[in-house]
Amino acid sequence: MNWRNWLVVPTLVMLTACSSSTQEGAIGVQRKQFLLLPTEQVNAMALQSYRGELSAAKQKGALNTDKANLERIRKIADRLIPQAAVFRPDALSWQWEVNLESRNELNAYCAPGGKIMFFTGIINQLKLSDDEIAAIMGHEMAHALREHGRERVSQAYAQQAGMSLLAALTNINAQQAAVLQTATTLGLTLPHGRGQESEADVIGLEILARAGYNPRASISLWQKMGAASKGAPPAFLSTHPSSNQRIDELQSKMATVMPLYEATKRNPPTSKMIVPRS
């Protein structure tokens, strides 16, 4: 069979998979995304993983034991979640959850479908204010709204399929395939990872501003994160931008989001979503 015929179908599939999972918002995120796999499939896998972490934390007696900080992050979520509708109206129908694991780790995440997890380490070690917690939560929510997890899985799936096809067409050996895999990772996967982080930064910035939290807290947050992560690998070989890079980009967006924040002082947001308490 002519090799061109083998390439036509995968190419058409990849082209039709390009779309955007969110509206632009005031911040103006417009990038088209490669979203090959169904949302439901990715969300189901993420939910299974999230439930596994909840179960493991509960068995260790580490789940939702810090009641004060648990209620604190849930109240912040109550204010942030309604603002997600600016980017995705359907997010209001997600089954949002907010949980807190007692773990000495500087981390938090929002799994696809709105499953939020904070670790006590990031709150306590960095001595976070409510505005800074909102900056983290808005950032992590933005990853879920933009379906960055689905995008990464789609890219990995297409990358593996493409490697298999290329190997079959060119008869490259295993060593050559490994070199090509490394080149693909450095040339494609890592830049996309940094791009996703930048998107989450600016979308999260708008979400927290619309919820009435001070966007400038995102600057102090990354100053704290930068001080806490000295010795991190260079930004070029990381999927995350450096703290200084993030601060520069966030500063460049302040003129857009500060009016949204100031407007909440005159007209405080009235819509809230009460995250389930357990």
d(CA 137, CA 199): 14
d(CA 131, CA 72): 11
User: Would the pLDDT of 182 be above 70?
Assistant: no
CA dist 44 → 41, 47, 112, 132, 149 (Å): 5, 5, 9, 30, 12
Q: Out of 65-69, 183-187, 254-258, 261-265, pick the least confident.
A: 183-187
| Alpha helix ranges (H) inside the chain | 3-16, 39-59, 67-80, 120-125, 130-145, 148-170, 174-184, 190-210, 217-228, 243-266
Tens digits of per-residue pLDDT, 155-165?
Answer: 776 666 655 55
Tell me the average pLDDT across 36-51.
86
Q: Which of 83, 104, 85, 89 is nearest to 215 (CA)?
A: 83
Strand pairing class (108-111; 18-19): unpaired
Decide which of 19 and 277 is more confident. Answer: 277
Q: Which of 113, 204, 177 is nearest to 150 (CA)?
A: 113
Q: Per-domain residue ranges for the chain?
A: 29-266
pTM exceeding 0.85: no
**Percent above pLDDT 90 for the chain:** 52
Of the pLDDT bands very low, low, confident and very high (cuts 50, 70, 90), residue 190 is very low
The reply to whether 140 belongs to the active site is: yes
Cβ 175 vs Cβ 16: under 8 Å: no
Tell me the average pLDDT across 145-149.
86
Could you say which of 101, 132, 140, 206 is catalytic?
Answer: 140
